[in-house]
Chain A
Amino acid sequence: MRKTMFAAALLAATMLAGTASAKTLVYCSEASPANFDPGTTTGGNDFDASSRTVYSRLVEFKHGSTELEPGLAEKWEISEDGKTYTFHLRKGVKFQTTDYFTPTRDLNADDVVFSFERQFDKNNVWNGDKYLPNLTWDYYTGMDMPKYVAKWEKVDDLTVKMTLTEPNAPMLANLGMDFASILSKEYADQLEKEGKMADLSTKPVGTGPFQFVDYQLDAVIRYKANPDYFRGKEKIDDLVFAITPDATARIQKVIAGECDIAAYPNPADIAMLKTNPDINLLEQAGLNIGYMSYNTTIPPLDKAEVRHALNQAIDRDALIKAVYQDAGATPANNLIPPTMWSWNKDVQFDKYDPEAAKKVLEAAGLKEIELWASDASRPYNPSFQRSAELIQADWAKVGVTAKIVNYEWTKYRSEGKKKDRPGAFQIGWTGDNGDPDNFFATLFSCSAIGVSNYSSWCDKDFEDLIQKAKTISDQAERTKLYEEAQVVFAKEAPAFLQAHSQVYNVVRKNVSGYLMDPLGIHRFDGTDKAE
């Protein structure tokens, strides 16, 4: 009894001492994480709280870029046929020691195999209900991993082999994504033995820069710097996520100094934030695209010149100004944003020319069109409805009457992706892994028709280029193919390309080393704070 009291007093004393001298960084996050297992979740806020803090991956995105660099794998080889990847793990990487787990060994190949196998192997005890009810492994299936990955094998303690069913160049970038975080098999085994499997999702253990301390549901998440982090201990001692769903409250908290960093300010607050002396407003063109898909299978939209004419009829600069307001956006010339490799700088989007458009549309006999809008607000398009109204007005000027079709967001997409959906459908995309394939193939490949190819567009030239680019691993060669694919896209115009929206992070001036991430994630490794 006396011993426990002493321990409690000691704990309280260290906690108090800790609060006095420790350097604490507070991030005002926008939503509560569903849980802390990045394999099972899909939201950006889930990943900020788990994979980017607690975990690391075989390969990592360079801080502030979409380029890949070695992570837990210090090097790797890809076989000639592009189907076998051999990863050599970094030696001596330690899993975090917490009050619920003490590792007895360093990271090894078993952990890597376990981290992936649990996501697809139905025989793995962690794949199903025994771990968590209603598991769907959305990202693993969403990225088509079951189709491409045949198996994971341990070669020796520090070597892992991944075999693919066919060559797939974007695979390496997939392994830098959140769902590919590496968990500790030793910890999983311990939980299984203790009958506390669900704890894997609530008390995470990884090899990342910060380790989990506590989560008060819907309120506060606490981490501390991982003293054994393989890249060295972070400069800040404690990292706190203050969950603040309302954008105005979030920004006021930064202004009041209650938090150091916040994401997603209201567009209306941008101007005020730019003039605030205590705040650095970081901005970047997001890795996203807002666009409007024409159904290219239904006449007269099956003709490229009609689609071009509809594009030309829209005053895009005025549209962007009205829709994105103070937050701003970059007019899109290509499907991929300018920050992404292989972006073709020579491609130009249709110029605003209502006169020319009118002639073509009259000749084609296009008088009425359905124009789809959802009530949702998305990062790449804050208001489909407002966009629709402006486009409707522009089209009216060239003699085309647009009927706005409105649905709630999930119904909107399920109706909109149907092959025979008529008219023009507003939608968009935010990149997952910084690979161009993640835009081109996901949104406009033939196999995506009925899933996420809302134009029902299947163009042989385009398809050949992007499929070929998928199978070769040389980036320079892939770049050429994607550049060419963008020329085809511009010529065929399966969609009206609207804009890449601007993304903001609000950071107090005494914070240094924080970089905006093109993938839209928020990571705090390398961040420091002056008191």
Chain B
Amino acid sequence: MVRFLLRKIALLLPTLVGITICAFAFVRLLPGDPILAMAGEHGVSPERYAELREHFGYNLPIWQQYVNYVGDALHGNFGVSISSKRPVAEDFATLFPATMELTVFAMLFAAIVGVPAGMIAAIRRGSWADQSLMGTALVGYSMPIFWWGLLLIIFFSGYLGWTPVSGRIGLQYFFPRVTGFMTIDSLISGQKGAFGSAVSHLILPTIVLGTIPLAVIARQTRSAMLEVLGEDYVRTARAKGLSPLRVVGVHALRNAMIPVITTIGLQIGTLLAGAILTETIFSWPGIGKWMVDSIFKRDYVVVQSGLLIIALIVMAVNLLVDVLYALINPRIRQAG
């Protein structure tokens, strides 16, 4: 097991180097210049421009800038934002729980709705229920997030007034931050109605962010289910006279869930990408919105370090999934 783990980690190293190069190059390949972006319409004189470039170290050879960036990151120093002047790691730590909370809710929503929908579609294969569920899933999968979010806001918040438009909690609730998860902090605060407010603020963003994963999960569940339902052991179970509920719910579902769980794990990346748009629409103070703002400001430091931290998290999650698989299934451990 230790060897397996070491091998996995060794494999991650080239990926990590690749990520640092991508993160570093990406923001520099964007047209635009952080100093000019900062100066606005005023512009800066050529002398001042040269002075500032030197100050920020952008006059150094590109390889040296890269070496400095990686060197600092290895020491756990992710730099200081050009625009806000706050340490990147600090802002990340403040904002990440918001993204995490939204992602978890979106994932739960996608799984809780997606798995039964896929099951129903599989059992009633070819029926109108199957057709309409899979049709809806296709629409959901192709939904442009920005448009979808605004549509829901205008209808449910603006027209019907059922849900709040944006934000994480009603402005009348004001309590100290403990975990950074609004649903938990609102309970800790003990303020009446705070938890309900936090949940109501989660509804629309959760739906919007969860829509695409939901569609993917529903389709994956359906096809996995169909495959399993054709297996001999399911026929045997049926032949033994077990109730249809037991056949589908226990015998088929358990086996069908293996590829579905893999799919759910893979959706983490999709969710983080979707969070960028969702957070912007719903004024959700998470890392997605933060990255977008920083790209527009050409805040090199935040973009390159933020990308690196996000990549590290995704890699850690993937490693964890690999290890869990290996624990469950020894064959993977040997094959590596």
Report yes or no: A417 in contact with B43, Cβ–Cβ below 8 A: yes
Interface check B168, CB cutoff 8 A: yes
Smallest CB gap from B170: residue in A? A258
Instruction: Determine the chain B residues whose CB is within 8 A of the CB of A485 once the complex forms.
Output: none
Within 8 Å by CB of B36, from A134, A141, A253, A414, lies A414
Within 8 Å by CB of A256, from B37, B161, B289, lies B161
Closest-CB distance, A268 to chain B (whole angstroms): 12
Within 8 Å by CB of B158, from A141, A216, A220, A256, lies A256
Taken together as a complex, chains A and B put the C-alpha atoms of A40 and B165 apart, in Å, by 33
Interface check B82, CB cutoff 8 A: yes
Interface check B241, CB cutoff 8 A: no
Closest-CB distance, B262 to chain A (whole angstroms): 34
Report yes or no: A252 in contact with B85, Cβ–Cβ below 8 A: no
Within 8 Å by CB of B154, from A248, A258, A429, A451, lies A248
Taken together as a complex, chains A and B put the C-alpha atoms of A136 and B36 apart, in Å, by 12
Given contacts A216-B285, A242-B283, A243-B283, contact A410 B166 (CB under 8 A): no
Interface check B83, CB cutoff 8 A: yes
Report yes or no: B158 in contact with A255, Cβ–Cβ below 8 A: yes
Interface check A217, CB cutoff 8 A: yes
Closest-CB distance, A413 to chain B (whole angstroms): 6
Report yes or no: A141 in contact with B298, Cβ–Cβ below 8 A: no
Interface check B40, CB cutoff 8 A: yes
Closest-CB distance, A196 to chain B (whole angstroms): 14
Within 8 Å by CB of A253, from B46, B91, B165, B168, lies B165
Given contacts A133-B80, A217-B95, A244-B166, contact A409 B85 (CB under 8 A): no
Taken together as a complex, chains A and B put the C-alpha atoms of A135 and B81 apart, in Å, by 11
Closest-CB distance, B203 to chain A (whole angstroms): 14
Given contacts A218-B289, A410-B37, contact A252 B283 (CB under 8 A): no
Report yes or no: B36 in contact with A40, Cβ–Cβ below 8 A: no
Interface footprint category on A: 35 or more
Within 8 Å by CB of B165, from A32, A220, A258, lies A258
Report yes or no: B293 in contact with A31, Cβ–Cβ below 8 A: yes
Given contacts A258-B165, A410-B33, contact A42 B38 (CB under 8 A): yes
Interface check B172, CB cutoff 8 A: yes
Report yes or no: A249 in contact with B41, Cβ–Cβ below 8 A: no
Interface footprint category on B: 35 or more
Report yes or no: B171 in contact with A252, Cβ–Cβ below 8 A: no
Instruction: Determine the chain A residues whose CB is within 8 A of the CB of B44 once the complex forms.
Output: 142, 451
Within 8 Å by CB of B38, from A138, A219, A417, lies A138
Within 8 Å by CB of A220, from B56, B84, B167, lies B167
Given contacts A133-B80, A136-B52, A214-B174, contact A42 B40 (CB under 8 A): yes
Report yes or no: B55 in contact with A134, Cβ–Cβ below 8 A: yes
Smallest CB gap from B79: residue in A? A133
Closest-CB distance, A282 to chain B (whole angstroms): 21
Within 8 Å by CB of B290, from A133, A218, A450, lies A218
Interface check A486, CB cutoff 8 A: no
Instruction: Determine the chain B residues whose CB is within 8 A of the CB of A19 once the complex forms.
Output: 172, 174
Please list 7 pairs of residues, one from A and one from B, whose beta carbons are closer than 8 Å in the complex, sorted by A's number.
A217-B94, A245-B280, A249-B153, A249-B281, A252-B154, A256-B165, A411-B32
11 further interface pairs, Cβ-Cβ under 8 Å (given A15-B174, A245-B283): A24-B171, A133-B80, A214-B174, A220-B167, A220-B171, A245-B280, A245-B289, A246-B150, A255-B158, A410-B37, A411-B32
> Which residues of A are interface residues toward B (Cβ below 8 A)?
15-16, 19, 24, 26, 31-32, 34-35, 40, 42-43, 132-136, 138, 141-142, 198, 201, 214, 216-220, 222, 240, 242-246, 248-249, 252-253, 255-256, 258, 407-411, 413-414, 417, 428-430, 442, 450-452
Interface pairs A-B: 9 shortest CB-CB = A218-B285, A408-B31, A219-B285, A410-B36, A410-B32, A142-B42, A132-B85, A244-B283, A252-B158
